[in-house]
Amino acid sequence: MKLETLRNLYISQLQDIYSTEKQIEASLPKLARAASNPKLKAGFDKHLAETKNQAKRLEQIFRSLGISSGNDTSPPMIGLAAEGQEVIRSSGDDHVQDAALIAAAQKIEHYEIASYGTLLAYAKLLGDVDSAKLLKASLEEEKATDKRLTILAEGLVNRQAVRASGYGGGGFGEEDGGLSFLGILLGAAAGVAAGMLLAPTTGEDARKKLLEGALALWDQYGGKAGELADVARTTFQKVAGQPQEVNDGGQ
């Protein structure tokens, strides 16, 4: 098809997303079978039903415009589907594979969101009001699916994959909650240890061992707690009478 008018482009993009939906319809049962997490399986099953309805909406648009659904296979979807198949064929930990399945599925979702968003804009410009309503319904479904996948990934599957990978999961390295917990831990440790160091009854050997242990802790985890670790480390060195390290900004 020659792309000489916006209508030509509109029709071409409609046929592309229809091909995409039909390929997704064939892929989702395989993704569901490969998933080990029950919620992920259910999510794929739910989206399969939505995908079938989205294809029907597109068929309704084709009828209203008096055009065919086209015979071409969506090139972008070929690559996205191939990535999903590669994950399905992979071996290893089930939790990690679930995380990979979500990643592959969300790439497809983002392509669909972009496609439906563009088509909706074209439909409005061309005055295709009825099609715009159908396209908006599909766009909102795709956004909702992407959000559900994000919640499932961040709230459960990715954490399970982290633990399966031997990194502990839910630990100090996580943003927000993890760093806040680390800050509290280091702050409490600083208070207790400083009190012991300053106590006149604390022997010199005990003070030295306590200082060495505290500094080792901050050296290990301090990079994840930012300025708190630097302040605590400097404070301990002052209390113990040790020379302070000069931070030259990495120069």
Alpha helices in 90-224 (DSSP H): 94-125, 129-152, 158-164, 177-198, 204-221
Taking only the tens place, the pLDDT of each residue in 173-222 is: 444 444 444 444 455 555 545 555 545 555 666 656 655 665 555 555 44
Q: Which band of pLDDT confidence, cut at 50, 70 and 90, is reported for residue 250?
A: very low
The domain limits of the chain are: 6-164, 177-240
d(CA 95, CA 158): 8
Q: How much is the mean pLDDT over the chain?
A: 80
Q: What pLDDT sits at residue 150?
A: 97
Taking only the tens place, the pLDDT of each residue in 80-106 is: 988 888 898 888 899 999 999 999 999
Does residue 68 register a pLDDT over 80?
yes
Does residue 231 register a pLDDT over 60?
no
Answer whether 0.95 is exceeded by the pTM: no
Grouping H, G, I as helix, E, B as strand and the rest as coil, residue 92 is coil
Alpha helices in 66-93 (DSSP H): 75-89
Look at domain 6-164 and name its CATH class: mainly alpha
